[in-house]
């Protein structure tokens, strides 16, 4: 299903604060990664030996990157992001930390629960992206 048609994306788009947008995004991400991280990694590994797998892996990677730029722009629209961070930088950080590799390192490599990874991502992204004023407002 295209990202823009997913329920959690609608929740992100209707949320009014960056904190709520991040939480909605991470909630959806956790639900997806539990099921799809192993599939994505299998595809990534197959890409080294199979041209069709490589093409599909590249397509998925490019689509994820484009979706992260949309998410970064949506976050920027709240007026709560640190001004020195570009949308591309925000998107790249989210892209790297929402990948199946990161998920697998924490869940399978270090024994984190899905909930713990979700809490970590919400906390990390809020601390990295929000201005100090907006970070402290909700605490």
Q: Which of 37, 3, 28, 47 is nearest to 118 (CA)?
A: 28
Residue 29 and residue 12 in contact, taking contact as beta carbons nearer than 8 Å: no
Give me the pLDDT at residue 34, please.
92
Overall average pLDDT of the 114-138 stretch:
88
User: pTM score, two decimals?
Assistant: 0.87
- Tens of pLDDT along 58-112? 999 999 999 999 999 999 999 999 999 999 999 999 999 999 999 999 999 999 9
Give me the pLDDT at residue 15, please.
94
Q: Indicate the average pLDDT of the chain.
A: 91
Q: What is the DSSP letter of 73?
A: H
| Domains along the sequence of the chain with CATH | 3-137 (1.10.357)
User: Of 9-13, 17-21, 42-46, 133-137, which range is least confident?
Assistant: 133-137
Give me the pLDDT at residue 62, please.
93
Q: How far apart are alpha carbons 58 and 54 in whole angstroms? A: 6
Confidence category of residue 9, pLDDT binned at 50, 70, 90: confident
Is 1 a residue whose pLDDT tops 90? no
Is 137 a residue whose pLDDT tops 60? no
> Residues, the chain, total?
139
Is 114 a residue whose pLDDT tops 80? yes
Give the SS3 label for residue 81.
Answer: strand
User: Which comes out higher in pLDDT, residue 5 or 98?
Assistant: 98
């Amino acid at each position: 299903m295209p990202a823009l048609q997913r329920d959690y994306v609608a929740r992100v788009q209707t949320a009014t604060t960056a904190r709520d947008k991040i939480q909605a995004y991470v909630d959806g991400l956790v639900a997806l990664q539990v099921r799809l991280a192993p599939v994505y990694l299998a595809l990534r590994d197959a890409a080294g030996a199979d041209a069709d797998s490589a093409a599909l892996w590249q397509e998925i990677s490019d689509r994820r990157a484009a979706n992260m730029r949309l998410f970064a722009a949506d976050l920027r629209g709240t007026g709560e992001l640190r001004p020195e961070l570009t949308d591309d930088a925000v998107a790249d950080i989210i892209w790297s930390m929402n990948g199946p590799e990161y998920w697998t390192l924490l869940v399978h490599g270090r024994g984190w629960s899905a909930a713990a990874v979700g809490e970590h991502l919400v906390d990390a992204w809020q601390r990295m992206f929000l201005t100090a004023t907006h970070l402290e407002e909700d605490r």
